[in-house]
Amino acid sequence: MANHKSAEKRNRQAQAARLRNKMNRTKMKTAIRKLDEAVVAGAADEAKTALHEATIVIAKTASKGTIHKKNASRKISRLAKRVNNMGSAA
């Protein structure tokens, strides 16, 4: 447990940041899940709109520092690849 005033403040800040990061990560996972559901269902229009929304959420999550910039880029790239390959697979 923190014994100094500055350590107690740092602990409060860390808890607030953890909750913020958790919220951002949850939004990102939800957006990715919606995209996955659209891809599995084979709905190309839904998948494209879900990709657009997921891209925005992932990029915003990276800009907040919750995930690394290259991690976000990799996720977006892989999701775009899945959506683009939907037409050729069908």
Predicted TM-score (pTM) of the model is 0.87
Dump pLDDT digits (tens) for 25-79: 999 999 999 999 999 999 999 999 999 999 999 999 999 999 999 999 999 999 9
* pLDDT at position 88 over 80: no
What is the predicted pLDDT for the residue at 3? 87
The dihedral through the CA atoms of 73, 28, 48, 52 has a sign that is: negative
What is the set of domains in the chain, with CATH numbers? 5-89 (1.20.58.110)
